[in-house]
Amino acid sequence: MDESTVDLKELLRILKKRRLFIINVFLIAVIIAVLVSFLTPPTFEAETVVRVKQSKGLADSLLSDLPMGNTMATKQLMSTYAEILKSRTVLEMVLAKTPSSGKKPLTYETFSKRITTEPVKDTELLKIAVEAPSAEESKRLANLLVDSFIQRLTFLARVTQTEVRQFIGSRLDEAKKELDKTEAALERYKRTEKIVDVEAEVKAVVDRMSAINQLSAQNIVNQASSQARLRSAEKQLAGQKQGFVADNPLIQQYKSKLGDSEVQLVSLLQQYTEKHPQVIALRAAIEETKLKLNQEISKVVNAESVSANPLYQKLMVDRLQSQAEIAAYDSQAKALAGIIAQNEAELSELPAKEQSLGRLMLDANLTQQIYLMLANRFEEARISEVMQPTDIQIIDVAVAPEKPIKPKKTLNVLIAAFLGLFAGTGLAFMIEYLNKTIRDTEDVRLYLDLPVLGSIPKFQEEQASINEFWGQLLGSFKKKQPHRRRRRS
């Protein structure tokens, strides 16, 4: 108890003795913090929130069958989009729209360090924050960044549609020329042979073959569209790992089933119209097979792909879907070729004049069907190209912040005050600890273990000199006093 009391008194004595030193350190720390806080340029942060919609292919992946699988898929998607957001291409798009000022221009390296992304837990929301020297600049850069990010994703999503549109457009021009050519040949033949009305027998054969021609035209257009998609996907996947899911047995099974169904459809259309129940049921079965094939492709791609990049996965899905469609259309084309050959044989039994007329009518009908379908596909591709992708939606646009996030003046001063007080106190105790001189009678008793009779105060050197001066002056004055007394007497 006594020992602790002595220790506490000793601590209080040291604090009292070194109080000026502690106060000085405290004030120096606070002054430095105030100067730094007021001289440091302010930094503002603007925040925007976007929604990242999980694509169907990723949602149907095998990850969803695992515990917390959807959460893992969402995290992967968020991380991927966050990296795309901070990619050089996107940031350079923002910098190109940023007017240059007299100050040091903003670079990719500097700008990328000012961007932070944070996914909101258990949601599809992604927070994007951008720092800048002024409130308006942080707001402008944040909104420009999100706009450029969406533009980049839109461009990547539209590449395939653009190439499909261009490819179909070139085929459309060729089909128009072919249509004009066949129609002109038919009209010329009718004028030459002076045909006013088509005989019933020829018309019956042509009408019967028109359904097959329509299916053949649809087959040609579908193949053209699928080949365009395949060409675009393979072009974008150049140099990437490809073909690792093409031999999947279930995918092969669906492809084979789809091809058989297309061949069966050709046979049914020889006997029935499109409204016949068997034709309707078979078309529904074909659509169901296509859906299952696409779902299986999405699952296998997402499960085996070495990349979590949804754009890469989408290209792989497009590639495999196009290959499956082309295989099915090839099977259908072979079946159609056989049926067309049979119809040609039936047509050849007619007289020569009717044969020529029938072939010209069939050619004109086929080219017309191809042209109309290509025109329809071209319009669909054009609409798809200009449509805005909905994978990214802006929830909150950035607004100018009212206060800077840095420097935090009050916090800086409080921290500096605490550190200054702590450092001053610590240094005071350290100085006392390092001082080994005997300072008072207590130190004599403590360290030397000797009896103390008293202490003589130490005079300052200046005070001793003054005392000596006054002593000499007083002595000389006393020596002169006897001479004055003798003169008076």
**According to the model, what pLDDT value does residue 146 have?**
92
Assigned token pair, 174: 């060729």
- pLDDT of 225 > 50? The answer is yes
Which of 91-100, 299-308, 372-381, 451-460 is the least confident region? 299-308
The Cβ of residue 324 has, within 10 Å, a number of other Cβ atoms equal to 25
Q: What angle do CA 84, 87, 88 make, to 5 degrees?
A: 155
Q: Which long-range contacts (CB under 8 A, 24 or more apart) does 172-179 make?
A: 172/371, 172/374, 172/375, 172/378, 175/367, 175/370, 175/371, 175/374, 176/371, 178/367, 178/370, 178/371, 179/364, 179/367, 179/368, 179/370, 179/371
What is the sign of the dihedral through the CA atoms of 23, 26, 28 and 31?
A: negative
Which of the listed ranges 34-48, 280-294, 335-349, 453-467 does the model predict with the highest average pLDDT?
A: 34-48
Of 116 and 57, the one with more pLDDT = 116
Q: Band of the pLDDT at 419, cuts 50, 70, 90?
A: very high
Measure CA of the first residue to CA of the last residue in the chain; give whole Å: 77
β-strand partners of 52 = 392
Q: What is the pTM of this model?
A: 0.52
User: Phi/psi of residue 396, each to 5°?
Assistant: -130, 125
The Cβ of residue 114 has, within 10 Å, a number of other Cβ atoms equal to 17
Classify strands 392-396 and 125-132 as parallel, antiparallel or unpaired: unpaired
Residue 88 identity (one-letter amino acid): R
pLDDT, tens digit, for every residue of 151-202?
888 887 777 677 778 888 888 888 889 889 988 988 888 888 777 666 666 7
Quick one: what percent of the chain has pLDDT higher than 70? 71
- pLDDT of 432 > 50? The answer is yes
- Residues contacting 172, CB < 8 A, separation 6+: 371, 374, 375, 378
Q: Band of the pLDDT at 418, cuts 50, 70, 90?
A: very high
- pLDDT of 469 > 70? The answer is no
**According to the model, what pLDDT value does residue 73 have?**
61
> Structural domain boundaries of the chain?
198-380
**According to the model, what pLDDT value does residue 57 have?**
44
Which of 118-127, 132-141, 285-294, 341-350 is the least confident region? 341-350
How far apart are the C-alpha atoms of 430 and 160, rounded to whole Å? 74
When pLDDT is averaged across residues 135-164 and rounded to a whole number, the result is 85
Measured CA to CA in angstroms, residue 431 lies from 17, 23, 62, 428 at distances of 11, 15, 68, 5
**According to the model, what pLDDT value does residue 162 have?**
79
**According to the model, what pLDDT value does residue 141 have?**
93
Considering only CA atoms, which of 10, 5, 11 is closest in space to residue 425?
A: 11
How far apart are the C-alpha atoms of 107 and 326, rounded to whole Å? 47
How far apart are the C-alpha atoms of 25 and 31, rounded to whole Å? 10
**According to the model, what pLDDT value does residue 101 have?**
60
**According to the model, what pLDDT value does residue 3 have?**
46
- pLDDT of 121 > 90? The answer is no
How far apart are the C-alpha atoms of 320 and 300, rounded to whole Å? 11
When pLDDT is averaged across residues 447-456 and rounded to a whole number, the result is 70
Assigned token pair, 226: 């699928």
Given a contact cutoff of 8 angstroms between Cβ atoms, the answer to whether 302 and 231 are in contact is: no
**According to the model, what pLDDT value does residue 198 have?**
66
- Residues contacting 206, CB < 8 A, separation 6+: 198, 358, 361, 362, 365
pLDDT, tens digit, for every residue of 226-260?
887 777 777 776 644 444 444 456 666 776 777 77
At 263 the three-state DSSP class reads: helix
Of 430 and 303, the one with more pLDDT = 430
Mean pLDDT taken over the chain:
76
When pLDDT is averaged across residues 62-88 and rounded to a whole number, the result is 65
**According to the model, what pLDDT value does residue 69 have?**
43
Given a contact cutoff of 8 angstroms between Cβ atoms, the answer to whether 328 and 255 are in contact is: yes
How far apart are the C-alpha atoms of 353 and 192, rounded to whole Å? 11
**According to the model, what pLDDT value does residue 89 have?**
87
| Tally of residues, the chain | 489
When pLDDT is averaged across residues 328-337 and rounded to a whole number, the result is 79
pLDDT, tens digit, for every residue of 435-450?
767 666 766 666 667 7
Q: Is the link from the previous residue into 407 a cis peptide, with omega within 30 of 0?
A: yes
β-strand partners of 127 = 49, 118
Classify strands 44-52 and 125-132 as parallel, antiparallel or unpaired: antiparallel
How far apart are the C-alpha atoms of 301 and 299, rounded to whole Å? 6
**According to the model, what pLDDT value does residue 341 have?**
78
User: Phi/psi of residue 421, each to 5°?
Assistant: -65, -40
Report the run of H or E that residue 327 belongs to, with start and end: helix 310-347
